[in-house]
Amino acid sequence: MASKMINLTIDNNKVQVPEGTTVLKAAKSIGVNVPNLCFHEDLSIYGACRLCVVEIEKHPRLEPSCATLAEEGMVVKTNSTRVRKARRMIVELLLANHPEDCLTCDRNQICELRKIAHDLGIRKLRFEKGRKYDYALDESSPSIVRDPNKCIQCGRCIRVCSEVQAVGAIDFVDRGGRTQVLTFLNKGLDNVECTNCGQCILVCPTGALREKTAVDDVWAAIDDPKKFVVVQTAPAVRAAIGEDFGMPAGSLVTGKMTSSLRRLGFDKIFDTQFAADLTIMEEGHELIGRVTNKGVLPMITSCSPGWIKYVEHFFPECLAHISSCKSPQQMFGAVAKTYYADKIGIKPEDMYVVSIMPCTAKKFEAERPEMNDSGVIDVDAVLTTREAARMIQEAGIDFTNMPDEDFDKPLGISTGAATIFGASGGVMEAALRTAYEVITSKTLEKVEFEQVRGMDGLKTATVDVDGLELKVAVANGLANAKVLLEQIAKGESPYHFIEIMACPGGCLGGGGQPIPTNLEIRKKRAAALYREDEGMPIRKSHENPAITAIYEEFLEKPLGEKSHHLLHTSYTKRERY
């Protein structure tokens, strides 16, 4: 049934919108972008900052457009003198209580508060600086730094943590001028249930939340003549890093990214997708073994470290369901410092492995005590997509005009199946491409499994594997993962195989990606990854010649003794606070 339409007038323009539309959205439909701070399209309505106020005829006070529904016959003014004065007052009061370190702030050039102040024409402040507190930074986390001094209490981080991720690691504490966003008992992010996913960074309008940078450490390693520095890049990075150089969302810049990293001084430029293909070989055979030998089902993917930490805190009873495979990042580190180091005659301790990831939780993962099966730490430093872009900018590299170059071999050889790891459903699809052929010994003519693709938070399907009905589910965003875990905990899960990614849309929506990251941008990044998959000469992980070679030369076989030692791990129950 078609929605009832509402007629109203906005700034002397006749507007017709579906019933239930907010005034904010109605104004946007005619090209009027009402400024706002607490509002975020992926989160619930909060209506606290009052920056989006508008004047509505017959209403005695200004109303927040984000929380006011359009009504029949409503007459709205979005830019009257009264409205402009109110907005400027709000922003001036925020600025009076905000640090003046814009030039050195992590969010310089992409700060929403700074942009709004500029757009509103605020060139001087009428109020003296009012801050009476100098709060300490929360640097306890290996992934995220929280700066309470830059917080404007918009509540976005709290809402994304509770609504999208079902974690609730942070909340408002105290009242009035002493209100802060804090963890439980102010213990710090590393001492509560924080999953390090970084979604709070993506929605924060200022520099109150940022990743803990490893840029200086990586520069130091590159400059150290005793270190052989290799870098791996995750699939989702190539579909997003161009945005930090002004390119449209969804630009596929694999070749430019590779040449830019080579100019930075890395000794070898490798691809995490090699390790993604390796993951499929191990994980696919693990799934087949569980299905045929009546092992613990459903089996759940283990590629997302934010998801792993979530289940360790909230559903430790489900740990047996998680694949024992390390993530591709960690498999790569272990293989680089053993198989590849031996090939080129480098001692593992002299090799420095850098990861470029869309994910802040990868910083946490690299520091897990389990991740040293190469005999030393498997991955030495993790950069987010944003940090890698900053290094390229710092080096003065003209990214958009760089030539396309290939990854180095052999750890830069990969398949289309590995490319789609960056999108929700991609690990599932890649695994199905290999599992089908291993189980049936038949060639899979159509490699696309569209039923597990898309941005829906929860997707389910039944896949016919030559008569075997394989029931699968795909979740992105931890609130959606919670639904599947509750089914497992109750013994009601009908699935054989489940893919879970901590971040909305999968890795391409990770907390380390360029800002802004929203639904439309996530869709464009996903489309870029699927385009690369379609253009790859090899689209199945088990057909990667470099994967065949590493088993013949080193690992011997999937789930063998050596691969079990290097490529698999276990997880542990963590406290709840």
Q: What is the mean pLDDT of each run of 10 residues along the chain (577 residues)?
A: 89 97 98 97 95 97 97 97 97 92 94 97 85 86 97 97 98 90 96 98 98 98 98 98 98 98 98 98 95 95 98 98 98 98 97 98 97 96 98 98 98 98 98 94 94 97 92 98 98 98 98 97 98 98 98 97 97 91
Q: Does residue 204 have an active-site annotation? A: no
What gap in Å lies between CA 283 and CA 252, rounded to an integer?
A: 28
For residue 482, being part of any structural domain is answered with yes
| pLDDT score of 125 | 85
251: tokens are 């630009």
**Tokens (6 digits) for 452:** 């597990």
Q: Catalytic: which of 92, 163, 349, 370? A: 370
Give the per-residue pLDDT at 508: 98
Domain boundary among 194, 212, 230: 212
Catalytic residue at 41? no
365 is a catalytic site residue: yes
**Would you say residue 378 lies in a domain?**
yes
Name the catalytic one among 282, 286, 387, 532: 286
- Work out how many domains the chain is built from and give that number: 3
**Quick one: pLDDT at residue 126?**
87
Of the candidates 63, 64, 65, 120, the one whose C-alpha atom is nearest the C-alpha of residue 91 is 120
Residues 193 and 285 in one domain: no
| Boundary of a domain, candidates 155, 183, 212 | 212
* Active-site residue, 323 included: yes
* Domain shared by 405 and 314, yes or no: yes
Catalytic residue among 507, 532, 540, 541: 507
572 within domain boundaries:
no
Is 507 catalytic? The answer is yes
Other beta carbons within 10 Å of 2 = 5
Phi (first) and psi of residue 383, to 5 degrees: -105, 140
Are residues 219 and 155 both part of a single domain?
Answer: no
Catalytic residue among 66, 303, 325, 359: 303
Give, as one character, the DSSP assignment of residue 339: I
Cβ pair 457, 479 in contact under 8 A? yes
What pLDDT shows up at residue 132? 63
Q: 205 with 220, same domain?
A: no
Q: In whole angstroms, what is the distance from residue 502 CA to residue 307 CA?
A: 5
Q: What is the pTM of this model?
A: 0.96
Q: Are residues 357 and 412 in the same domain?
A: yes
Q: How many CB atoms lie within 10 A of CB 135?
A: 15
- Domain membership of residue 174 (yes or no) is yes
Burial 153-175 (b: 16+ CB within 10 A, else e): bbbbbbbbbbebbbbebbeeeee
The active-site residue, picked from 243, 365, 499, 532, is 365
Q: Does the CA dihedral 558-563-564-570 come out positive or negative?
A: negative
Domain that holds residue 489: 215-567
Q: Do both 291 and 356 map to the same domain? A: yes
Q: Which of 259, 260, 323, 414 is catalytic?
A: 323
From the candidates 283, 429, 437, 499, which is the catalytic residue? 283
Indicate whether 206 and 229 sit together in one domain.
no
Any catalytic annotation for residue 303? yes
At a CB cut-off of 8 Å and minimum separation 6, what does 541 contact?
Answer: 276, 277, 278, 280, 281, 284, 415, 417, 418, 430, 433, 434, 547
The answer as to whether 365 is a domain residue is yes
Active site residue 286: yes
Q: Can you give the pLDDT at residue 127?
A: 86
Preceding amide of 369 cis, omega within 30 = no
State how far the alpha carbon of 74 is from the alpha carbons of 6, 11, 16, 62, in Å: 9, 11, 11, 14
Do 225 and 265 form a contact (C-beta atoms < 8 A)?
A: no
